[in-house]
Structure 1
Amino acid sequence: HVANVTFQKINQLGGEPLIHPPYSPDCAPSDYHLFASLAHSLTGKNFVDKPHIKNHLRLYFASKKPDFYASGIDLLPIKWQHVIDNNGEYFEN
């Protein structure tokens, strides 16, 4: 889905928008490397306020080494190709 203003601007510039569903379970951000790991770090946690959440996130991201992020980025084309190969249909990871 594309916001109407954005759609009009794309047309004005001669582009063609890619029509896609607003949400695809095959590409949900929560399925990606970073967020799966983050979800695991949150298991069993109870936060009393926003500063505690921010602190947890700050410590979590600071604890990750560059190779953690690199491996997640390296997995993206494989994940995207899997979605393409399955014609956007749901699949189990």
Structure 2
Amino acid sequence: MSKRITPFASRYCSTLDRLTIRRKRPGLLRRGVVLQHDNATPHSANLTQQWLQRYGWEILPHSAHSPDLAPSDFHLFGPLKRHLGGVAFETEDDLISELMNWFDNLDVDFFRVGINSLLSR
């Protein structure tokens, strides 16, 4: 591995070390984490691959030239963030239950507006 790449991979691994999940739910650091990142040099560097293997994280494949988020996701995240803002969940199951209820109670127009706004972009 080139010495020029190492600082970027080191910084990326440092970022992974500081993930919120690690501070708030340390037991989850090794259990069932699936990470999606592209094939940028810091992500594919040996140092990063060793970090991921140490914690047993699974890498979700990311197609080349594929955006990280679908355009339709941008319509979803704001309202979801407002809905969940300031709420502390006792368990992961409580969070999943709340998310499922939120999605189940969304009006069809919510999705229609999101899809139709894609046309103007």
TM-score, normalised with respect to structure 1: 0.51
Shift of 1:47: 1.0
- Runs of 4+, deviation exceeding 6 Å: none
Which amino acid letter does the alignment assign opposite residue 68 of structure 1?
Answer: F
Aligned CA-pair RMSD: 3.0
* Greater RCO structure (CA 8 Å; 6+ sep): 1
1:50 pairs with 2:92: yes
Percent identity over the alignment is: 32
User: Structure 2: which 5+ runs fail to align?
Assistant: 1-37, 40-63
Question: Aligned in 2, Cα 1:70/1:54: closer, same or farther, shift over 3 Å?
Answer: same
Whole-angstrom CA distance in 2 between matches of 1:22 and 1:57: 24
Whole-angstrom CA distance in 2 between matches of 1:67 and 1:60: 14
Which amino acid letter does the alignment assign opposite residue 58 of structure 1?
Answer: M
Question: Aligned in 2, Cα 1:47/1:20: closer, same or farther, shift over 3 Å?
Answer: same
Shift of 1:22: 6.1
Provide the aligned length of Structure 1 versus Structure 2. Answer: 60
Which amino acid letter does the alignment assign opposite residue 90 of structure 2?
Answer: V
Which amino acid letter does the alignment assign opposite residue 102 of structure 2?
Answer: Y
Residue 64 of structure 1 aligns with which residue?
106
